[in-house]
A and B are shown apart, each in its own frame.
Chain A
């Protein structure tokens, strides 16, 4: 069995990464989904490499 501390550390690390994933989905992801919907409506192209998730993260 894992010790209590080891288990807590492991679970905490996974929880933090999940929290980041959820936060990212609702913040940056929300902007990307909105931008994509606008492009679809206007018949334009949403460039995935021009405004990628990593760039947005750096700009924050």
Chain B
């Protein structure tokens, strides 16, 4: 098998021809870096349009310097998302066996195009501060991106592929929500990368789709981080999945690939305290200017060894076997 790892060569340097005259408050501070208190996440970048964020000027700039090829996917996504909500059928289909219903919904989602599906309860941790969501469950969906296009990171080709994947998965979420509403249960599709009210990554991790990687993105077993996420929130009673351990921490604690390949050096070697939880965290103030300059960057997710097609399951197996063979630290 050929090694299709991405090796970014001549990537643009982290030098910027744009900036703030009056810099906003640090995005790391807004994100709660170093804060031992558990609290809800706040929007920093990528707004839903109804609130003005502290980093809004850079977000506007990012949107306006982006290519029309990217924007046309955004436009098509916004247009299709007009159907994210809708009327619920008057006659409610009773649910006796939540496990069977969960299987049915997963098969439905896969039939509609999702490659990864997991179900979890919606908790306050996955809802942004100031937002309220009245659903009980989240059906998390994942779709892999075209690796050939993504190998061009950081480049417009990759940015276009990212938005295409979002648009395609968004349509899957919209159709799944429509089918659930036809069963007489409320459901709303979330397929907007500007994440709206909910945090897609924590939900997908709770739903057992993957684990958080050093680069702040989720790593799934089959596709690594070369995926995009969407979700359907619903009250349809469903059996939930459990978070998985596929050995991501074992890899990320040893591997420094994304950390060393990140041009602005935004990825740290160790986990950090963020809103009361010790976890992998990416320095917002270093990442976002580079992300803006390169129309969405994506180097970290593509250089990740887990993103090599076909490697994930074997890598997970090896990492877990290695861990099992090591003497227990307490023993």
Contacts and interface: CB of A to CB of B under 8 A. Distances in A.
- Which of A15, A24, A44, A47 neighbours the largest number of chain B CB atoms within 10 Å of its CB? A47
A48 B79 contact: no
B17 A52 contact: no
Given A1-B87, A21-B75, A36 B60 contact: no
A1 B18 CA distance: 48
Contacts of A17: 78
Contacts of B87: 1-2
A22 B21 CA distance: 28
A45 B60 contact: no
Contacts of A25: 63-64, 68, 71
The list of the 9 closest CB pairs from A to B, nearest first, reads A29-B64, A53-B60, A40-B17, A52-B57, A48-B61, A49-B57, A46-B18, A14-B82, A48-B57
A43 B78 CA distance: 36
A47 B79 contact: no
Contacts of B68: 25
* A interface, size bucket: 20 to 34
A45 B82 contact: no
A60 B104 CA distance: 53
A47 B17 contact: no
- Which of B18, B56, B58, B86 neighbours the largest number of chain A CB atoms within 10 Å of its CB? B18
- Tell me the dominant secondary structure on chain B's binding face: helix
A45 B18 contact: yes
Nearest to A41: B17
Given A32-B61, A48-B18, A53-B64, 20 more contacts: A1-B87, A2-B87, A14-B78, A18-B79, A29-B63, A32-B64, A36-B17, A36-B18, A36-B65, A39-B17, A44-B17, A46-B17, A46-B18, A47-B21, A48-B58, A49-B20, A49-B21, A53-B57, A53-B61, A54-B56
Contacts of B96: none
Contacts of A14: 78-79, 82
A49 B79 contact: no
B329 interface: no
B19 A48 contact: yes
Interface of A: 1-2, 10-11, 14-15, 17-18, 21-22, 24-25, 28-29, 32-33, 36, 39-40, 43-50, 52-54
A49 B53 CA distance: 13
Nearest to B86: A2
A15 B68 CA distance: 18
A52 B79 contact: no
B22 interface: yes
A59 B215 CA distance: 41
Contacts of A50: 21
A53 B56 CA distance: 10
A33 B17 CA distance: 12
Nearest to A13: B82
A49 B82 CA distance: 32
A3 B75 CA distance: 25
A32 B17 CA distance: 13
A22 B71 CA distance: 9
B78 A22 contact: no
